[in-house]
Structure 1
Amino acid sequence: MLKNKLIKELEQYFADDQKRIQHALKVTDYAEKLIKAFKEKYPDKNINEQVIIYTAVLHDIGIKNSEVKYGSSSGHYQEIEGPPVARKIMKSHNIDFETMDEVAEIIAHHHTPGKVSSNNFKLLYDADWLVNLPEVYNLNKKNTTEKENLIEKIFLTSTGKKIARKEFLNNY
Structure 2
Amino acid sequence: MLKKSELISEMVKYYAGDIKRINHFMKVYSFAKTIGEMEGLDNEKQDILEVAAIVHDIGIKVSEQKYNSSAGKYQELEGPPIAKKLLERLEFDDLLVDRVCFLVGHHHTYTAIDDIDFQILVEADFLINVHEDEISKDSVLSLKDKYFKTKTGKNYLDLMYLNEDNLEIK
TM-score bracket relative to the smaller structure: 0.7 to 0.9
One-letter amino acid of the structure 1 residue matched with residue 122 of structure 2: Y
**Residue number among 64, 67, 79 corresponding to 1:67 in the alignment:** 64
Aligned residue in 1 for 2:122: 125
Deviant stretches of 4+, over 4 Å: none
**Residue number among 151, 154, 157 corresponding to 2:150 in the alignment:** 157
SS in structure 1 at match of 2:117: helix
Question: CA 1:168–1:120 in 2, change beyond 3 Å: closer, same or farther?
Answer: same
**Residue number among 91, 94, 101 corresponding to 1:94 in the alignment:** 91
Question: CA 1:11–1:171 in 2, change beyond 3 Å: closer, same or farther?
Answer: farther
Unaligned 5+ runs, structure 1: none
In the aligned structure 1, how far is the partner of 2:75 from the partner of 2:143?
A: 24
Unaligned 5+ runs, structure 2: 166-170
Aligned residue in 2 for 1:27: 28
One-letter amino acid of the structure 1 residue matched with residue 4 of structure 2: K
Q: Percent identity?
A: 38
**Residue number among 38, 55, 62 corresponding to 2:52 in the alignment:** 55
One-letter amino acid of the structure 1 residue matched with residue 155 of structure 2: K
**Residue number among 163, 166, 169 corresponding to 1:170 in the alignment:** 163
Verify the 8 A CA contact 2:49 2:117 in the aligned structure 1.
Answer: yes
How many residues of Structure 1 are paired with residues of Structure 2 in the alignment? 164
Aligned residue in 1 for 2:10: 9
One-letter amino acid of the structure 2 residue matched with residue 121 of structure 1: F
Tell me the TM-score normalised to structure 1 length: 0.87
Question: CA 1:70–1:152 in 2, change beyond 3 Å: closer, same or farther?
Answer: same
Give CA deviations for 1:127-147 in whole Å, capped at 9, x if unaligned.
1001001343534xx3xx664
Structure 1 window deviating more from structure 2 (152-161 vs 64-73): it is 152-161
SS in structure 2 at match of 1:73: coil
Verify the 8 A CA contact 2:31 2:124 in the aligned structure 1.
Answer: yes
For the aligned residue pairs, the C-alpha RMSD in angstroms reads: 2.1
Task: Report the Cα offset of residue 63 of structure 1.
Answer: 0.3
SS in structure 2 at match of 1:114: helix
Q: Are 1:104 and 2:104 matched, yes or no? A: no
Task: Report the Cα offset of residue 151 of structure 1.
Answer: 1.7
Tell me the TM-score normalised to structure 2 length: 0.88
